[in-house]
Amino acid sequence: MEDIAKRVDFIGARLKPTRPTRARDFLIGHGWTEAQLSSGAGLDILQEGSYTLRPYFLRTLADAQPKEWAALLGGRTLRSFLVESFLSREARLVSTKTNLSQKLAIERLRDVFADIALEMAASETSAIDTAFIELVVEEAFLKDVSVSDIGRLKYKAGSLGFLEQDDQKGYRSFPHTEISHHFLALGIIRDIARAGIRRVLSRASFEGDFLTIFAEVFAELPDTEAEIFLQELNRLLENERSSYDRFESNIAALWIATLSRPMGDGSRVLTDRQMNDAVIVGMASPARLERVIVNRFDLRGADVSQVVFDECASSTLVVDADTRTGQKAPAAAHLQVVVDGAISHLRGDTVGEWLRQHSIKATQDGKARSEAEALLWRVGSTLQRRYGIRDNEDDPAGRLFRHKYWGEIEKILGDRLVRDHNRGAGRSDYFVRIRDPHGLMRAADPASVQIWEKVRQLK
């Protein structure tokens, strides 16, 4: 680039994603280890086609200290960490052109990208014209900056960092569906909480990939924001009816996805709903589903042992080795079992047998699972999706550490359990993680087997 710049006047440049092998070499050259890149978040970073292979995200990861990774993520997903890092960079650029503080610039930019994602989803398109982007930018910043500053921001609207030139001239698109889904989730949460959304709920089709990201974004919300959103969502379920569009099925799918965040006393109930897709990730909140019909119900990596399924059915139930059900699972005509990338299909009596074997009450040897084993399972299943759990009640999953058996389980885990000091803002606490949670959950080695045997003996 430096050599070319000597011969060419640059107006701007956009770097394409690199290959996973080159990304691995780059990160290892900046302090990462093979072990870190071969498990947990590292596996997501190096997937072919991943948004993380873009130069800015790789540079952000390279600059991070891997040994403090849990504290850096702060209980967030890798995607949330990288998106917020990028927003901070863009906000600094906005602040240099206006008198806006960086904090407020981040909020306004987040709104801009959320509004763009909402419009794309409602229009069922993956690209938007620059005139609309300029309008959104003006609306977001109008009350905070001068008219001349608005003009400068609108002029740069087509080159906002999260947007790329589309094949269609004059249009822009997000660089990856994970990014657009992330902002769509933020926009839906924001607008439903403000009781001001309808069009996207009626016109968009919420499929499994989006619902998974929505569940993850919802799980990261502060308690107050999550409660406000859920109150408004419940109001929509109770008061808004429309059989002519996708509204009812979409809000029901969102409601089910919110079960991915442990909250409530088990009094949450969803009745008489039908939808194409539904997703629950991680440890599900206590709830009851009655006469809920789902075409494709994705429970991969989910512990739904505290969800009661009463007269519920699914054409296809998607599960994996880490799926755990309770006493009653949805009736399924077809079970799609995903294990290490391989997919198998079960039908008939084998469906019920597989679900019984993967009940929370079933252990590796078929014996009933004790309360202590169920606790370790819930912590382990959460850590398979997150690098760490904050040992603080502000983190919903962190409340698991207040259980009467957890102190004894920590002693049994020994050096398998790691506590990283939280160096972020707020009260001083720790991020808890387990080395190789996948191996522990599957009892893949003698040490893991021994841990489960000792936990089972706790009374």
Residue 283, φ and ψ in degrees, nearest 5:
-85, 120
Alpha helix (H) ranges present in 267-360?
349-357
260 and 219 Cβ atoms separated by less than 8 Å: yes
Q: Is 60 exceeded by the pLDDT of residue 381?
A: yes
- Quick one: how far is CA 409 from the chain centroid? 27
372 and 409 Cβ atoms separated by less than 8 Å: yes
Q: Of 43-47, 55-59, 85-89, 352-356, where does mean pLDDT reach its minimum? A: 43-47
Quick one: pLDDT at residue 428? 64
Other CB atoms within a 10 A radius of the CB of residue 22 amount to 12
Q: Is the dihedral of CA 20, 25, 31, 34 positive or negative?
A: positive
Distance CA 328, CA 307 (A): 8
- What is the share, in percent, of the chain residues with pLDDT greater than 90? 33
Quick one: pLDDT at residue 267? 78
Quick one: pLDDT at residue 203? 87
Q: Is 60 exceeded by the pLDDT of residue 244?
A: no
Residue pLDDT, tens place only, 68-77 = 566 666 667 8
Residue 254, φ and ψ in degrees, nearest 5:
-65, -40
The band of 10, judged by pLDDT with boundaries at 50, 70 and 90, is low
Give 348-359 as a 3 state SS string: CHHHHHHHHHCE
The band of 410, judged by pLDDT with boundaries at 50, 70 and 90, is very high
Token representation of residue 174: 């997000």
Residue pLDDT, tens place only, 109-129 = 999 999 999 999 999 999 999
Tell which residue, 447, 310, 303, has the closest CA to residue 382: 303
Residue pLDDT, tens place only, 171-184 = 889 988 999 999 99
The band of 451, judged by pLDDT with boundaries at 50, 70 and 90, is very high
Residue pLDDT, tens place only, 137-153 = 888 888 888 888 888 88
Q: Structural domain boundaries of the chain?
A: 2-63, 205-357, 371-456
Q: Which residue has the higher pLDDT, 38 or 117?
A: 117
Residue pLDDT, tens place only, 158-213 = 777 788 888 888 888 998 899 999 999 999 999 999 877 778 898 888 999 999 99
- Quick one: how far is CA 445 from the chain centroid? 29
- Average pLDDT over all residues of the chain: 85
Mean pLDDT of the region 253-268: 86
β-partners of residue 359 are: 325
In three-state secondary structure terms, 109 is helix
In three-state secondary structure terms, 420 is strand
